[in-house]
Amino acid sequence: MNPFYTNTFALETHKMEIAGYIASLVIGISLGLIGGGGSILTVPVLVYLFGVEPVIATAYSLFIVGLSSLVGAIPKYRQGFINLKTAIIFGIPSIAAVFATRKFIVPLIPAEVFTVGSLVITKSILMMLLFAVLMVFASVSMIREKQQTAEQEPGPQQFNYPLILMEGAVVGMLTGLVGAGGGFLIIPALVLLSKLPMKQAVGTSLLIIAAKSLIGFTGDLSHFTMDWTLLGSVTALAIAGIFIGNSMSRKMDGNKLKKGFGWFVLVMGIYIIVKEIVLPGGSSH
């Protein structure tokens, strides 16, 4: 092989890794600033900047998102913004579903899922497309100003048990498939189905995301050889970013930031769909 091309490739790879580490810090900062949503960027960062295979990237994302959410949940617990009863009721079906999905369902997905004309949808492409669709839904949730996100008056808590258990299981399966926390689904569910005030819903969702992501990640340990150096570096930067974001949030309007970040996530989601379906190569490296 020509040494020039070898050196150029090595330089480009090095640049992408540096961009990946910077993006890892940004993920944490966005989590600290807007209280969620930043984790939706974890899989694209791992795939496109670090060159991690998409199925493995969804496993890595569970660890990074889970540990970051756990760190974010600690101050919320101290402030009294975590409702443990709700976390347990919603969390148990969610944890069971994410673990079962990672342990049993993901390994059963064939390498080539289906073919549309000349387009072969592989397992990797399917994972990225599912993730991109989730990004689009998450972005719409961040962009739209929802009236129900206003702070509620404290009152007796009510549980819609069948719906909570069902949504917990659905969110868990979705988390297991794409490796995202799903906070944009959990928070409205806690507000509407558990009658939690918004601040408690945000704090409680962090604990649920932490538990289901970290336990779900253990379902992958027997399937993949983990790059613990990369995983540790990205997680450490994301956690450092949370502390930076928390201190910045005292001086910035979180709602405006969330809307701007939502538009960014929407563009990213559309880009991934185009890249995987239209552009040659996709993520099937």
- What does the pLDDT look like over 59-79, one tens digit per residue? 999 999 999 999 989 988 999
- What does the pLDDT look like over 168-178, one tens digit per residue? 999 999 999 98
What is the arithmetic mean of pLDDT over 97-117?
A: 93
- What does the pLDDT look like over 21-38, one tens digit per residue? 999 999 888 887 776 666
DSSP annotation of 118: T
- What does the pLDDT look like over 145-166, one tens digit per residue? 554 444 445 556 777 888 888 9
Q: What are 121's strand-pairing partners?
A: 114
Q: Give the per-residue pLDDT at 148.
A: 45
Distance of alpha carbon 85 from alpha carbon 200, whole angstroms: 12
pTM for this structure?
Answer: 0.86
**Hey, which of 113-122, 123-132, 185-194 has the most confident mean pLDDT?**
123-132
Distance of alpha carbon 73 from alpha carbon 213, whole angstroms: 14
Distance of alpha carbon 192 from alpha carbon 147, whole angstroms: 12
Mean pLDDT score of the chain? 86
Of 215, 162, 216, 213, give the one whose Cα is nearest residue 189.
Answer: 162
pLDDT beyond 70 at 58:
yes
Tokens of 273: 């769909």
